[in-house]
Chain A
């Protein structure tokens, strides 16, 4: 395994939030995952399953409770000060709601120049020039430099975020539901922008989403999360065909297709995900799983390779497709 092969490697990463006397939230549980250079990896799962937390762990915004995260072979939890800043220069993030990402009282120009000014110590005029260029890169003109965030639409703001994120050529871009706050048409523009950009420069993308269809369209590999842990990692293409884990299947069944047959019976998964507070041992999905048995209740299934680029965490590997 050469260095350039694995850009990011998560090993048994867990994150608990202490609720001060009211238990612990097991937001991320024993997650192992790798992202190769240039690869686009999707993480899908329902709300509250720990996707954002995972992103925050990777970006050192929250410390891990246990486990290790390697970036280019270096363990990131020890990063402080300068190192941390250097790391963040290589790992950039795009957030779900663009309107939260901008300081309401800072002009777009200042916002855009920030990376050059801080990381490269570029002079103001030079940074300005680079900012204009970055704007062009996302199909916006330089008028935007003088505007305030509230004067722009969500789509425009998200483009500006992207412009800034890719400005210093990061190695990894994390998109935390980067499009879910936007309208479908804006969403597809942004996705296309990301795709184009990714083609041009060779960074990896960790794409967090709850939209399976979107992930399928965009990602090389997809990790499905349920209640803090990864239940299945499968190739991006042909989800319906490949899905093995009962939860992944249930997810796929819940998606309403625009062009699907309206008379088709809806197959629903009963119940709702349990609370992430003090998650018991055993398969987390067990309670809602049609195939769950006593073993599932007792033992936590581990991710196992079952195919090329395909891992499943389920005791019932032999289940029909």
Chain B
């Protein structure tokens, strides 16, 4: 069964720009789909459309987005709100930016949990702490007591993942979750996300610039350019036998360490 399915989606912004053209692809259960493509190609637009969080003036002009078989676009505001965060969650490039800078992580976390299940603050706090420790974050209590800016980028990103995962959503949408991070930290986050899928079976759609990350994480890769989906396929096929010319070009352009290049030539 598919968790998410884009059916012929087009998104248009108020200034008349069509940012996404007739995109269709599916996200099967427990799978990781990486969306790659150059900047401005509509990657963020696409996954934000699924969340119903298009920035001002954007709207889906055509197509359907099926979440577990139901058309999200037909949902009422309240309906979509109730599945956000619980059924499908999202993380962003700079997690700190997407948390209220003037409130501690703890209250925001608890608030999120209590938006979806009827529990006391204390219980919610416990859930939060559990989740944080599950993601192997050192000193979860301190994280709960910290303001976003008091944590390093990596910590924040992982805390954000924890927050997103605490309702055990079926789908996690990640918009460039590692781009703002250092390579060493990026590796940590990538590993974490892979573990999530293993442990909880969450399907993940990850938007990234980094072909290396896409290649390492994804089961399927979607390549976008100028709002069009150029290629969608299983990871091995896209990486090793790209059909689309643009994909080929792009893969050629990615610099690789010497020893890896040998693999490529082979």
A interface list, Cβ under 8 A from B: 46-47, 183-188, 191, 210-214, 216-217, 237-241, 250-260, 262, 266, 268-270, 272-273
Within B120-153, the residues touching A (CB, 8 Å) are 152-153
Bound Cα distance A186, B250 (Å): 9
Report B-chain residues with C-beta under 8 Å of the C-beta of A255. 183, 212, 257
8 contacts between A and B (CB under 8 A): A188-B253, A240-B257, A255-B183, A256-B215, A259-B256, A266-B194, A270-B188, A272-B155
Q: Tell me if A260 and B216 are in contact (CB < 8 A).
A: yes
B117 near A: Cβ within 8 Å? Answer: no
B200 near A: Cβ within 8 Å? Answer: no
Q: Tell me if B251 and A269 are in contact (CB < 8 A).
A: no
Within B223-257, the residues touching A (CB, 8 Å) are 235, 239-240, 249-257
B78 near A: Cβ within 8 Å? Answer: no
Q: Tell me if A266 and B256 are in contact (CB < 8 A).
A: no
Given contacts A210-B183, A272-B154, contact A256 B216 (CB under 8 A): yes
Q: Tell me if A254 and B187 are in contact (CB < 8 A).
A: yes
Bound Cα distance A46, B188 (Å): 14
Given contacts A256-B212, A259-B256, contact A272 B182 (CB under 8 A): yes
B61 near A: Cβ within 8 Å? Answer: no
Report B-chain residues with C-beta under 8 Å of the C-beta of A212. 183, 257
Given contacts A256-B190, A257-B215, A258-B211, contact A272 B256 (CB under 8 A): no
14 extra interchain contacts, Cβ-Cβ under 8 A, other than A46-B183, A46-B184, A254-B184?
A46-B182, A183-B209, A184-B209, A184-B254, A212-B183, A213-B260, A237-B258, A240-B258, A241-B259, A256-B216, A257-B216, A260-B215, A272-B155, A272-B182
Given contacts A254-B184, A259-B260, contact A268 B191 (CB under 8 A): yes
B1 near A: Cβ within 8 Å? Answer: no
| Residue of A212, A217, A260 with highest tally of chain B CB at under 10 A | A260
Q: Tell me if B216 and A240 are in contact (CB < 8 A).
A: no
Report A-chain residues with C-beta under 8 Å of the C-beta of B103. none
Q: Tell me if B39 and A183 are in contact (CB < 8 A).
A: yes
- Report the nearest A residue to B188, measured CB to CB: A268
- Report the nearest A residue to B208, measured CB to CB: A256
Report A-chain residues with C-beta under 8 Å of the C-beta of B249. 185
Q: Which of B154, B190, B256 contacts A258 (CB 8 A)?
A: B256
Bound Cα distance A213, B255 (Å): 6
Interface residue total, chain B, C-beta cutoff 8 A: 40
Bound Cα distance A266, B255 (Å): 20
Q: Which of B186, B194, B252, B260 contacts A260 (CB 8 A)?
A: B260
Bound Cα distance A260, B213 (Å): 10
Report A-chain residues with C-beta under 8 Å of the C-beta of B250. 184-185
Bound Cα distance A273, B188 (Å): 13
- Report the nearest A residue to B212, measured CB to CB: A256
Bound Cα distance A216, B194 (Å): 29
B interface list, Cβ under 8 A from A: 38-39, 152-155, 182-188, 190-191, 194, 209-213, 215-216, 235, 239-240, 249-260, 263-264
Bound Cα distance A47, B213 (Å): 18
Question: In the complex, how many residue pairs between chain A and chain B have their CB atoms under 8 Å apart?
Answer: 119
Q: Tell me if A262 and B184 are in contact (CB < 8 A).
A: no
Q: Tell me if A257 and B263 are in contact (CB < 8 A).
A: yes
Q: How far is the CB of A269 from chain B (nearest CB, A)?
A: 5
Report A-chain residues with C-beta under 8 Å of the C-beta of B215. 256-260, 262
Report A-chain residues with C-beta under 8 Å of the C-beta of B184. 46, 250-251, 254, 268-269, 272
| Residue of B155, B184, B256 with highest tally of chain A CB at under 10 A | B184
Q: How far is the CB of B231 from chain A (nearest CB, A)?
A: 15
Report B-chain residues with C-beta under 8 Å of the C-beta of A259. 215, 239-240, 256, 260, 263-264
Query: 9 closest pairs, A vs B, by CB?
Result: A256-B212, A183-B38, A188-B253, A46-B182, A254-B187, A257-B260, A213-B255, A254-B183, A256-B216
Q: Which of B38, B255, B259 contacts A217 (CB 8 A)?
A: B255
Bound Cα distance A255, B254 (Å): 12
Bound Cα distance A252, B216 (Å): 15
Q: Tell me if B183 and A238 are in contact (CB < 8 A).
A: no
Q: Which of B152, B187, B210 contacts A253 (CB 8 A)?
A: B187
- Report the nearest A residue to B264, measured CB to CB: A259
Bound Cα distance A238, B261 (Å): 11
Report B-chain residues with C-beta under 8 Å of the C-beta of A262. 215-216, 235
Q: How far is the CB of A243 from chain B (nearest CB, A)?
A: 11
Q: Tell me if A216 and B257 are in contact (CB < 8 A).
A: yes
Given contacts A255-B183, A257-B256, contact A272 B152 (CB under 8 A): yes
Bound Cα distance A273, B119 (Å): 38
Given contacts A46-B182, A183-B38, contact A257 B187 (CB under 8 A): no
Bound Cα distance A211, B254 (Å): 11
Q: How far is the CB of A238 from chain B (nearest CB, A)?
A: 6
Report B-chain residues with C-beta under 8 Å of the C-beta of A258. 211-212, 215, 239, 251, 254, 256, 260, 264
Report B-chain residues with C-beta under 8 Å of the C-beta of A217. 255
Bound Cα distance A110, B263 (Å): 47
Q: Tell me if A257 and B257 are in contact (CB < 8 A).
A: yes
Q: Tell me if A257 and B185 are in contact (CB < 8 A).
A: no
Bound Cα distance A249, B249 (Å): 30
- Report the nearest B residue to A266, measured CB to CB: B191
Report B-chain residues with C-beta under 8 Å of the C-beta of A252. 257
Bound Cα distance A262, B260 (Å): 13
| Residue of A184, A187, A269 with highest tally of chain B CB at under 10 A | A184
